[in-house]
Amino acid sequence: MLTHRKRFARARQAMAAGLAVAALASPCAGARADEIAPASATQSAPTGAPDNAPAAAPPDDGILKTIAKKVGLATDPSQPQDFVVKTRPAGAQDFVPVGRKEFEREIKVKTPEELKAIDDDLEAVRARHDALRSTFAPAVKAVADAAAAQAAKKKKPPPPPASPQ
């Protein structure tokens, strides 16, 4: 079992090791790519870019980010996919839109006459199916059984109320 003093000593050793790593890494981060002057003008501009276009500045990473990149714990963000670029607005927006845009429906609202015509069509289909069902013997028997069950349920008197005990 570790005592309080041993835990404190281990924490102090871990902190000292971290400071040593940071001190060793700081000389490596002293020279930056944007501080070094290019040897010629052809090296400063990327290929295919006009001569007067400024070179893309490297990201301004701190010491800790540089160390994390070297160790493999951090990366630079990559370029977005094509579909993401296409769906974003062309210009820079100074606000974040809230909610969704109203969309227009392609289907128009039915008029009362159109609704009546649809209702009449459904009634005609129901009547046609009822006529087909009446010729099917099991369906006729099922309808008769259902009607008999309904009639028996109506004739049966309700049970007498229970007496309090």
* Domain range for 144: 112-153
* Residue 5 lies inside a defined structural domain of this protein: no
Q: For the chain, how many residues are written?
A: 165
Which residues are CB-contacts of 2 (< 8 A; sequence separation ≥ 6)? 10
In contact, 123 and 117? CB cutoff 8 Å? no
Angle subtended by helix axes 112-134 and 137-155, to nearest 10: 100
Query: In which band, very low, low, confident or very high, does the pLDDT at 153 lie, cut at 50, 70 and 90?
Result: confident
Give me the number of domains the chain comprises: 1
CA 143 → CA 75, 130, 156, distances in Å?
Answer: 73, 11, 20
* Assessment of whether the complete model's pTM goes beyond 0.85: no
pLDDT digits (tens, 9 = 90+) for 83-101: 988 888 777 777 777 777 7
**pLDDT tens track for 8-56:** 788 888 888 887 777 666 555 554 444 444 444 444 444 444 444 444 5
